[in-house]
Amino acid sequence: MKRLAAAVVLVVAVAATSTVSPIADAEPVQELALQALSEGAGPPLVMLGGGTFGAVAFAPHAKLLAKDFRVIRLQTLNLERSQPQALPPGYSVKVESAAMIAALDRFNLTGPVDIVGWSFGGLVALDFALDHPERVRSLSLFEPPAFWAVGTNDRAALPDLKAMIELTGELLPASIPTDAQLVRFQCALGNCGVIPPAPGSADRSNWETRRAALRGLSAVSSHTDRLARLQAFRRPVLIMTGSGTVAFHRRINEVLAENFPVVERVEVRGGHTAPVTAVEEFAAKLTAFISKQPPAR
């Protein structure tokens, strides 16, 4: 792939501590667009981070990938509006993926692009891809919480999945998440025993930002889809799994891989947070997959 010097173009700041102008609650959904940060030059690579991390989590990856790609990091609405804005009326995964379309349109990216999504960002990317396969060159997913893909028997055998579905069901768009809910959320993802940072400590601000981003994640447990849509998707898909991830995410990834017609699977060292704990490995495996795909048509 041709090596190009990285060039940074700031479209809208996406750091977790950034402030944005309030958007009226009555705004039409179709006018929403995800915030975006563009870096580098080359073929576009669209990245969506995890539900409590957001676009900032992929900043180290962008520095590596911007040598070969124009990296466009998108900020999902649950992060953008974690404080103090209200989520839009009827908030859902579909609202997020519609705002993703608007963001790409603003970059004039209406043709096929490479897309990667992690966790909640992966669920949004998956919904976008299934609705608009003509806009996808390749799709890379790291453990999207596609609860809908797992059947009744699997749910009964996966207590961690039941715990996560119950928890996310509590995280309504108008709720105020608690420290206890963030502790439960992390434990369901394999990081148990977390103690919230003390008020005024150095880590407290980041904790509160991630806690606030839980608001609206009921959209995950209420989202539905059909396996037939996976089976009809003909673009190349990379399913990425943490080597030490929790059982329910491994099972969801297995179901996705069983149903996509054109699919590869890789593992990355670590658990559900492997994209941020194994940055270079994640970026290398992602690049290897994308680089061998044929040109977009």
83-124 pLDDT tens trace: 678 899 999 999 999 999 999 999 999 989 999 999 999 999
> What CATH number did the domain enclosing 41 receive?
3.40.50.1820
Q: How far is C-alpha 125 from the chain's CA centre?
A: 7
Distance CA 148, CA 17 (A): 33
Distance CA 76, CA 52 (A): 10
Does residue 116 form part of some domain?
yes
| Residue 22: Cβ within 10 Å count | 10
Structurally, the chain folds into a number of domains equal to: 1
pLDDT at residue 2 in the model? 37
Which position has the higher pLDDT, 295 or 263? Answer: 263
pLDDT, the chain, mean: 88
pTM exceeds 0.75, yes or no: yes
Task: List, edge to edge, every strand of the sheet that includes 113-118.
Answer: 8-10, 35-40, 70-75, 44-48, 113-118, 136-142, 237-242, 263-268
Q: Which domain holds residue 252?
A: 8-151+223-291
Identify the residue whose tokens are 């680089």.
291
Distance CA 9, CA 11 (A): 6
Q: What is the DSSP string of the chain?
A: -------EEESS---TT-------TT--GGG---EEEEEESSSEEEEE--TTTGGGGGHHHHHHHTTTSEEEEEE-HHHHTSSSSPPPTT-SHHHHHHHHHHHHHHTT--S-EEEEEETHHHHHHHHHHHH-GGGEEEEEEE----GGGS-HHHHHH-HHHHHHHHHHHH--TT----HHHHHHHHHHTT-TT--PPPTTSTTHHHHHHHHHTTTTTHHHHH----HHHHHT--S-EEEEEETT--HHHHHHHHHHHHH-SSEEEEEESSSTTHHHHSHHHHHHHHHHHHHTSPPP-
Does residue 209 form part of some domain?
no
Does residue 142 form part of some domain?
yes
Does residue 159 form part of some domain?
no
Give CA angle at 30 (27, 36), nearest 5°.
95
pLDDT at residue 297 in the model? 67
Does residue 32 form part of some domain?
yes
Name every residue whose Cβ is closer than 8 Å to that of residue 267 and which is 6 or more positions away in sequence: 240, 241, 242, 243
Does residue 187 form part of some domain?
no
Say whether pLDDT at 11 is over 70: no
* Residue 294 pLDDT class (50, 70, 90 cuts): confident
Two structure tokens written together for 222: 């209420």
pLDDT per residue as tens digits for the range 19-72:
222 223 334 444 799 999 999 999 999 999 998 999 999 999 999 999 999 999
Does residue 135 form part of some domain?
yes
Does residue 199 form part of some domain?
no
